[in-house]
Structure 1
């Protein structure tokens, strides 16, 4: 569905979007070169859970990069 897109934007929760971009780079680098940044973070969003989610997301991204 995205092969003919001039720009690709993955928009979701910050860590989900980051994981999506990492997966795209791994699976289809030819499409990943067309990635543009979305507005992942909105001030105040998930404020109470941000620290725990950041640590969890960082750990998961490290796991993606090591396989």
Structure 2
């Protein structure tokens, strides 16, 4: 028998969409970053970090 999914079995997903934030702006991805992003660093250490993404536009668009 398959166990029923409970609320605790669901993954916790946080999707962050930031305008004009570069890959190297987060200190967890760039040790020379001028920004101190301690909360992002903690989430990166405790979770999954995706480092290969692609955009269909070279500039910010709606």
Same fold (TM over 0.5): no
Greater C-alpha radius of gyration = 2
**Higher-strand-fraction structure:** 1
Higher helix share: 1
Identify the structure with bigger relative contact order (alpha carbons < 8 Å, sequence gap 6+): 1
TM-score when normalising by structure 2 = 0.28
